[in-house]
Every structure is written in C-alpha cells, then in structure tokens.
Amino acid sequence: MKTYDLIFSNDRKFRIIRHVLFWAVFYVYQVVRVSFLFPPNQLWNSVILILVTSLVLGIFYNMVVTYSVAYYLVPKFFDKKKYAQFAMGILILLVIVFCYHILFNSIIKPFPNAVGTTKQHPYIFLRGNIIRILGNPPLICALFLSLKTVKRWHLKQVENETLTREKANAELQLLKAQIHPHFLFNTLNNIYSFTLTKSPLAAELVQKLSDMLNYMITDCDQILVPLEKEIQLLKDYIGLEKVRYGDRLDIQMHINGDYENCMIVPLLMIPFVENCFKHGASMMRGKQWMHLIININDNNLDFNLSNSKPLQPKSSNKNGIGLLNVQKRLGLLYPERYQLDINSADNTFSVYLKIELQKKIISSEDKFILSRKSSLPNNKFLQEELTTTILNNENI
C-alpha cells in the first residue's frame, strides 16, 4: 500500500481506510480524555465504562454531525451560497445533539464515580454538555473538512498539471502539423521539376524532405531529443528553401560549438525559421537575406536569427500563432530558464533565444539516457516525463 494512495486516492478501499483511521485516532483521544475524569485507583474497574462512554458520547454523535455537515449541508447549501439554510441546518444538528446528551445522561448516568459529578459540581448537565455540544463537534467537523479540503486542493493541482501536460503535448502536435502547406507544395514541385530533367538534386531533395518528416513524426514524440537532430532539421529545411529561392535569397547559417552531447525539447527553433520564409522571402521580390547563428557554450544555446521583411507593419508577425505557441511551450518547459527577444523593425525581423541545454549519457547498450533530474530545469512536468522515460527504458 502506497502512502500517497492512502492519503489521496479516491478508490473506495482507501477512502474507507482513511475514515477508519481518522475516527480511530479520535476515539483514542476520547478514551484518554474521559479516563482523566476518574480517580487513578478506579481506572481499571471502569475500563468498560470508559470505552463505552467514549464511543457513545464521543464518537457516535460527532460522526453524525461531521458527515451531515460535510456530505449534506456543505454541498447542498454552503457551496451554493444558501447560507441561511446552512445555518438552520447547523442549528437543528446542535438541538438534536443537545437532546441526545440530556436523554443519555439522564437515563444512563455514565459517570457515577467521575470526579466533579457531585451535586455541588454538576459536570454532566452543565460543563460536560457545553463542551461536548459547542466544543467537540465544531472542532472535529472543522478538522475533517480541513483534511478534505487539502485533499481536494491537491487533486485539483494534479488535475491542472495533467491538463498542462496534455496541453503542451497538443501544442507539440500542432507544431508538427504547422509546417506551411505552401512549403510542402513548392518543395514537391521543385522535386518534380528536377525529376523531369533527371537532375541528381531530385534525390537529394527527396532525402531531405523524407528525413524531416520522419524526424517530426517519430523522434519528436520524446520529451527531449538530441540537439544535432534539431539542427539537422533546420539544415534540411533551409536547404529545401534555398533550392526554391535560388540566388535571390542570401542565406547564411553558422553553427558554433560542440552540440553532439546536448539534448533539447523538440521543435523549438523550426517555427522561427519557417516564419522567416513564410512572412519574409515569400512576401517580397528582388534580393532578400536571412542570417542564422547558433552558438553552443557549455550548457547554453544562443539562437540568433534575422531576416529581411516587407515594409508593411502588418507583416511584423510578432504575435503570430506559431511564435505564440513556441513562447507558451518555453514557459511550460523552461520556466525562468530561457530568454526570448522578438523584434520587428521597418524592414528587419529578428529573434534571439537563449536556453539551458541538458546533457546526454551513452550507456553500455549505446542508449541515450538523460542526466539526473537535478541537471534538468526546475520543472515538475519535465522531471515526471523524464522519470517515466528512464523507467520504461525508452530510447531518446
């Protein structure tokens, strides 16, 4: 039995165990409290009386009050802001409990030998009833509701984290499907034209397009991927676009640093590059340019991208859907561990991205396994996904 399941699981078995433990602890408290009412020399002779009284005058009516409030009055009235009906229900419960105590103490008289039960000190009918009616039930009920509220809050947090994880995965799937349709259409047209002339470029273009699609469909299902594959995706994409635009587009791409042992969240950089062609070169005539510089220093990646763009302000695209999705993913997966600057001037669009990379280790079976969770960004979502991957012994 896991401690987490015992505390938070909604399974019927664990719920019953939780309730039994709660009332068992309270029953022990009641037995100890009631035992102090008897002289020490009479404790062993009054054990049965103490146990029965603690159950009847301690547990039974507190359970009635607590469950009535927690599972009837609160959801039916308090949660619906029907405070008058809620207060009336509490008052009715107190009257019932008071009548129960008066009847039980008058007929059974459970403390004939208890300290303070003489006529001069009528413990049962005054002090005892006041404490039990106005003291214990509200405290026990408040404690029960507090534990229930904490459990509900925690489960809500878990639900929110699950939704966040699903949202991040959905946005990743959207990014996979977001490669501009015109790019695929024009690339296939280019390949077709080269096949007519039997140019060796046709096979090269097919290979680049095949590698891109294969990577996006298969490898990108992992939470982290090798950085060299992300960079190769950029190279293939830019290579295909370079064939399309020819000499009228000046493309400069520089990769500096060792990136063979680095890991990164997939499809973080490709939307920026796609944006250059979609809203830059494809919207303009004449000579255009695009410059991409990627520097890898230690565990940091610096991504600098700039391109020419039309003069029209409407083409700034600073808030494009693709770029917004990337910003959301960065916020989810690299909280406070990234820097993103997007600037749009009159005829230039630039992006600067800096993130922390993770290292990969090659095991004896030549499988990539992510480094310890302490080397990851301080993000619960990433850590949970990484732990699952390692335990399942999946390839990354």
The per-residue pLDDT for range 84-113, each reduced to its tens digit, is 999 999 888 888 887 877 776 666 555 554
The one-letter code for the residue type at 204 is E
| pLDDT attached to residue 94 | 81
Helices 136-176, 61-68: axis angle to 10 degrees equals 40
pLDDT digits (tens, 9 = 90+) for 296-317: 988 899 999 998 887 665 444 4
| pLDDT attached to residue 117 | 44
Give me the helices (H) in the chain, please.
Answer: 3-8, 12-35, 47-54, 61-68, 83-107, 129-134, 136-176, 181-196, 201-217, 227-245, 270-279, 321-333, 380-391
- Proportion of the chain above pLDDT 70, given as a percent: 72
- Structure confidence at residue 393 as a pLDDT band (50, 70, 90): very low
Which long-range CB contacts under 8 A does 23-26 form with residues at least 24 apart?
A: 23/59, 23/63, 26/58, 26/59, 26/62, 26/140
Of 276 and 235, more confident? 235
| pLDDT attached to residue 340 | 93
The one-letter code for the residue type at 118 is T
| pLDDT attached to residue 391 | 39
Task: Provide the 8-state DSSP code for 264.
Answer: E
Indicate the average pLDDT of the chain. 76
User: In Å, how far are 61, 103, 107, 234, 354 from 237, measured between CA atoms?
Assistant: 73, 86, 90, 5, 21
| pLDDT attached to residue 280 | 64
| pLDDT attached to residue 111 | 52
Per-residue pLDDT at 16 exceeds 60: yes
Average pLDDT over residues 373-392: 47
- Structure confidence at residue 329 as a pLDDT band (50, 70, 90): confident
Query: Which two tokens mark 156?
Result: 């809500």
Query: Which two tokens mark 301?
Result: 């990646």
Q: Angle at the Cα of 6 (from 3 to 159), degrees rounded to 5? A: 95
pLDDT digits (tens, 9 = 90+) for 18-65: 899 999 998 888 888 777 777 677 667 778 877 887 787 778 888 888
| pLDDT attached to residue 287 | 80
Per-residue pLDDT at 15 exceeds 60: yes
Is the distance from CB of 69 to CB of 93 less than 8 angstroms?
Answer: yes
| pLDDT attached to residue 177 | 56
| pLDDT attached to residue 180 | 54
Q: Please report the domains of the chain, with CATH numbers, ordered by start residue.
A: 3-157 (no CATH), 178-391 (3.30.565.10)
- Residue (of 268, 206, 195) closest to 236 by Cα position: 206
pLDDT digits (tens, 9 = 90+) for 181-224: 656 776 787 788 778 877 888 888 888 888 888 888 888 878 88
| pLDDT attached to residue 359 | 79
- Structure confidence at residue 372 as a pLDDT band (50, 70, 90): very low
| pLDDT attached to residue 306 | 92
CA dihedral 60, 61, 64, 68 (to 10 degrees): -160
| pLDDT attached to residue 369 | 44
Whole-number Å distance between alpha carbons of 33 and 383: 47
Query: Which two tokens mark 167?
Result: 């949202």
Q: Which residues pair with 340 in a beta bridge?
A: 353
Whole-number Å distance between alpha carbons of 234 and 210: 14
